[in-house]
Chain A
Amino acid sequence: MTAQVRVSENDFSVDIENQRLLKLSNGIGAIANFVGVVRDNATENALKSMELEHYPGMTERSIQDVVQRAGQRWSLLGISVIHRIGRLSPGDQIVYVGVASAHRQSAFDGCGFIMDYLKTEAPFWKKETLDSGESYWVSARDDDQHAVQKWQS
């Protein structure tokens, strides 16, 4: 299985990334995608912008670690993960996950597994600024911990 992980300020094209994924291996019959997007209503107030901080080095390694675990658990042919950092606006793409396999179920499962673990393990932090000028660090959600637990049963 070939994997690529990128942490970058730059936006990405899902079409281009899926085309790259297809070239990583022969025998691909399915690609599952997840794209995370900046929601425009963080609270009842309108969101102006979001700042994404990371831990250079550890962030990339922790995503690689999750990707490798997915590759050990399912029969996957290629994985690509892109996570953006820096200042983002509502509607901007934050994260891309592409998982390629011979058949659909392992692609679906691998994609969900990678996102669930990325959200709880990869060191990224979101700070949101509202139109009112108020800003705050986003809190971790219990739901994200529960999402990981379902892969452990």
Chain B
Amino acid sequence: MNQSGAAAGDSAITVRLFASLREALGSSQFQFDLSAIDETPTVAIVRRILIATHDENWRALESADVRIAVNQSVVDDSARVQSGDELAFFPPVTGG
């Protein structure tokens, strides 16, 4: 599943997963290549491709309570992503 950063080239983003999502999907961080996307890439598009190209566990990314951050700022799934960005998916936070 993990593409290498080099293979993904200049048009890659880093996808990060945390906590229960990290465990359920068996990955904490990987590169994702945007070059195959024709339209302006958004979180929603990346998520759709991730779900389509992995097993059904990855539907967990669609759960209503999944939080999204791009470059460590919380966004919704309409946010655009571009090469070099860091896109994170995580469950509701439980610190304190």
Contacts and interface: CB of A to CB of B under 8 A. Distances in A.
A36 B72 CA distance: 25
A55 B72 contact: yes
A125 interface: yes
A94 B95 CA distance: 9
Contacts, number: 69
A70 interface: no
Interface stretch (A9-17, A19-27, A102-110, A132-140): A132-140
Interface string B69-96: 1001110000000000000101111111
A59 B69 CA distance: 12
Interface string A31-53: 00000100000000000000011
Q: Which of A52, A57, A58, A123 has the most CB of B within 10 A?
A: A123
A75 interface: no
Nearest to A124: B95
A120 B93 contact: yes
Given A55-B18, A58-B69, A115 B96 contact: yes
A6 interface: no
B28 to A, nearest CB: 10
Contacts of B69: 55, 58, 123
A138 B23 CA distance: 14
A127 B23 CA distance: 11
Contacts of B94: 119, 124-126, 137-140
Nearest to A52: B95
Contacts of B23: 137
Query: Closest 10 CB pairs between A and B?
Result: A124-B95, A140-B92, A125-B19, A58-B72, A119-B96, A137-B20, A138-B94, A126-B94, A122-B95, A123-B93
Interface of B: 16, 18-20, 23, 65, 69, 72-74, 88, 90-96
13 contacts: A52-B95, A53-B18, A53-B19, A55-B69, A55-B90, A58-B69, A61-B72, A119-B93, A123-B69, A123-B95, A124-B94, A137-B94, A140-B65
